[in-house]
Structure 1
């Protein structure tokens, strides 16, 4: 097999996501959810605040926070994602949205820039999980609010291996779904004090989940093969359906910069 030349993890992310901006803008999984509602409620009305949406993707956190705060800086590694977010912000009349192309691990913003920092369904792509959180803490004002949402590992090795394998087959830019304990440890090491942990169960409809990423047929077949031979306790935990749909754990963590 020919080895890829000069392909780092960031380039793998861009290969996966540059062409999928519209799909993530339209994705019902990303556009709505109890965690998104909770994020908005935790922020409340802060007209003088500046907020960061790290790994903004289709921009759904940005669009929820923009009416609540003074300015939202939407950051993502993918330029087409940012173009989509900027265009949709204009359509929605959100004049306080600014886009910036960057990875979480190399945030170019000055120290103590933001009153609120948030990331949702992004951290499992970061090559440097703790480094990204450390950068988010660096740019947060003392006492500022951090909101962190993602799919999380169920910790048990059997369940964790199945989840990570399925995620990677679907999307080669996947790094790892951290467990809640791993999130807490990394946030504490980065300078955040955890205030609240809210857990959810998220149903993933298989056909749209695969289509959103344009997963190659050979990888879809591999996922379905794994599902067909899965242990009963895995099938039960993930509520695996005949059509391949399954349910994952997600979390929203609220923390303050200390």
Structure 2
């Protein structure tokens, strides 16, 4: 019987290099915002939560003293440690584990960053409470993730194609859900911005090694949905599309 964590590990155990070389993951306007936040507050110890191929770690390491690259998939953590060594980023250390049970002492970090990871987590609410526990008073949490939609027809389409492409997908949460997670855990919402992510279809499915039959199913859905759905996601003839992305900053006041 597979847990969600085991599904995640299975899905990503042989895809670390694909994510390392993914332009979608290696680039983004959010990196400059993260660096500015770290510099402004002089944060010293950062947790890259759900680090994947480590792009956040590589971007923020020069601005701080220590970065813990943390992921449920051992192969991802191993890759980040190898890359950090090659890049001379001695600030980066790797550790394997889940978001719902962080193996760190209370108030261990002054900044926690999670980028394109939370939609895989088994229980975001529980993870949020753990994040709150290990964050220092007056620390910051930065989330970057694909946004779900409050309109059912748009949300159903997004969640469906995400799950068909990647069985480890749990949910892209909408902004209202994120606000509830944050407030329930005790965080103050300090900044919310919306970005747009353009996804090349072939790269999107190749990165996850999506089967030919699943690719066909996704393309079939893209062709049959309403014009409103096609317009919202800007679905192109080759299947490429765009998604809304959230940049969220939370604060811990005490």
Where on the TM-score scale, by shorter chain, does this alignment land: which range? over 0.9
State the match for 2:13 in structure 1.
Answer: 18
Q: Deviations over 1:217-252 (max 9, x none)?
A: 111111011011010000000000000000000011
State the match for 1:225 in structure 2.
Answer: 220
State the match for 1:3 in structure 2.
Answer: none
Q: Deviations over 1:145-197 (max 9, x none)?
A: 11011000121000000000010000000000000111111011112111110
State the match for 1:80 in structure 2.
Answer: 75
CA distance in 1, matches of 2:87, 2:40: 18
State the match for 2:135 in structure 1.
Answer: 140
Q: Secondary structure at the match of 1:104?
A: coil
Equivalent pair of 1:46/1:68 in contact (CA under 8 Å): no
State the match for 1:71 in structure 2.
Answer: 66
Equivalent pair of 2:116/2:144 in contact (CA under 8 Å): yes
TM-score, length basis structure 2 = 0.97
Counterparts of residues 31-42 of structure 1 (less than 5 Å)? 31-42=26-37
Q: Which of 169, 173, 183 is the aligned partner of 2:168?
A: 173
Q: Which of 115, 118, 126 is the aligned partner of 2:110?
A: 115
Q: Secondary structure at the match of 2:62?
A: coil
Deviation at 1:47, TM superposition (A): 6.0
Q: Secondary structure at the match of 1:23?
A: helix
Runs of 4+ in 1 over 4 A off after TM superposition: 45-48
Q: Which of 191, 208, 213 is the aligned partner of 2:208?
A: 213
State the match for 2:242 in structure 1.
Answer: 247
Equivalent pair of 1:152/1:249 in contact (CA under 8 Å): yes
Q: Secondary structure at the match of 2:235?
A: coil
Q: Secondary structure at the match of 1:106?
A: coil
State the match for 1:204 in structure 2.
Answer: 199
CA distance in 1, matches of 2:30, 2:55: 11
Deviation at 1:46, TM superposition (A): 6.2
CA distance in 2, matches of 1:166, 1:174: 10
CA distance in 2, matches of 1:55, 1:19: 16
CA distance in 2, matches of 1:105, 1:255: 18
Kindly indicate whether residue 55 of structure 2 is the aligned counterpart of residue 57 of structure 1.
no
CA distance in 2, matches of 1:46, 1:80: 32
CA distance in 2, matches of 1:77, 1:97: 17
CA distance in 2, matches of 1:194, 1:51: 19
Kindly indicate whether residue 94 of structure 2 is the aligned counterpart of residue 99 of structure 1.
yes
Structure 2's unaligned 5+ residue stretches are: none
Equivalent pair of 2:43/2:110 in contact (CA under 8 Å): no
State the match for 2:231 in structure 1.
Answer: 236
CA distance in 2, matches of 1:47, 1:64: 15
Equivalent pair of 1:46/1:69 in contact (CA under 8 Å): no
Aligned length: 253
CA distance in 2, matches of 1:31, 1:37: 13
TM-score, length basis structure 1 = 0.96
